[in-house]
Amino acid sequence: MSIEGALRYYLGTGIGKGVLRFERLRNEWRLRHRAPKTSSPFSPPLSTSPWLKELISRHYLTGRYADAHRKVAWVTSGAPVEFLKALGYYLLYPENHGAVCGIRRRGEELCQAAEEAGYSRDICSYARTDLGSLLSGRTPVGRLPKPDLLLCCTNICQTVLFWYRVLAAHFRVPLVIIDTPFIYSTAPAHAVDFVQRQLELGVETAERVAGRSIDPAELERVTRRSREAVELWMRVLERARHVPAPITAFDEFIHMGPIVEMRGDRATVDYYRALLATLDLRIARGTGALKQERIRLIWDNLPIWYRMRGLSELLARHGATLVASTYTNAWGELAALIDPSDPMRSAARVYLHPILNRGTGHKLDTIQRLATDYAAHGVILHSDRSCKPYSVGQMDQRERLSARGIPALLLEADHNDPRAFADEQAENRIQAFLEMIPS
């Protein structure tokens, strides 16, 4: 790396981190001294929220300058990243960047930029958002670092395979593909062997690009931190079993950022430990995320990023709390499979078992289990227009849940493209659904 690049990295991130720390302290002070809104159906925000904002902002701040100082890898959200962390790569998750664009209402313009370049509107809106950002140079996070390596794992969908081939051709960098066989229960040994061998070949490529060999002790440390973070995240989610729930799934959609983007970092472990303590304090005080909780619901599929606030307020006005979701649960349920003493074999098992790499029957059983464990009164199934793997089978799942005494609403939308969402229609359907649930 050049001296100029290193100076830009350290000066830029150093000054930026100082600004972010100041903003965090200011926001924490405001939270402590802010008068509660008596008209709001929500309890005061979680006290750790300013810390979360700082953590995520620092991640993207580091990314602005990362390619001038260290190796960068772009990875799919379900990819095995521990070996890249151990090699010192900065990791960027295009799906998470897409979610940030959606939250900041930039998804539509970036999707349109991709469509104008010839990409179909039927493609995943994460892919269109990020390809639109790549082609237009527009992003709400300032700048994305150019990758030295791409890592694509097919355990979430097949779209990522073609998406990352486009990225590889654009950047002209190596593409590592981890192809995970689809499983219906527990992965057989030959499937684990198959994935482990691909991981080992991926390590060889990553080492060649990084210009260094992996340190087994560092890989074990990173894997151990990943397991600790995942375990803490699951404990955070389980706190919502309490009545009233101290945290909603809408909160979790935001607070899951570190477990996706910064899995394996010490800062992620520290943050979730603090969040867990905050939730325990809420429980001890009898404080729920909503002031008046009447209805408890489960959410299936990705969030509708651009309508998070509107949907949360709509449900809150009816005393309805999203207490769990299959999406956030997917990042915690595999903690028991992580084994730091055997990182590569462990990774092969873990990354074979995400919810999208398993049958629709498994998802149905997961929804029913969440509904039981979290004492839910019903389920909202987000029928996501451009995430077909997550949405397949939902019509049957709705009928089967209803037959088991669990009311379910099928809500049509798209996780990142607001053109596929009708506000008035959605509000009417949700209100009608809530009215049929007994108090």
Q: What pLDDT digit, counting tens, does each position of 130-145 carry?
A: 999 999 999 999 999 9
Number of domains in the chain: 1
Mean pLDDT by 10 residues, the chain (439 residues): 59 78 89 82 94 95 88 95 97 96 96 97 96 96 95 95 97 98 91 98 98 98 97 98 98 96 96 98 97 97 97 96 97 93 97 94 95 98 95 95 96 96 95 88
Taking each helix axis as running N to C, give the angle between helix 266-285 and helix 49-66, from 0 to 180 degrees, rounded to the nearest 10. 160
CB 324 within 8 A of CB 245: no
Q: How far apart are CA 430 and CA 315, in angstroms?
A: 8
Q: How far apart are CA 344 and CA 80, in angstroms?
A: 9
**Rg of the chain (C-alpha set):** 21
- Which pLDDT does position 316 carry in this prediction? 97
Q: 270 CB contacts (<8 Å, ≥6 apart)?
A: none
Q: Tell me: the pLDDT tens digits for 48-107?
A: 999 999 999 999 999 988 988 899 999 999 899 999 999 999 999 999 999 999 999 999
Domain that holds residue 127: 3-435
Q: Which residues pair with 149 in a beta bridge?
A: 73
pTM of the shown model: 0.94
CB 97 within 8 A of CB 106: no
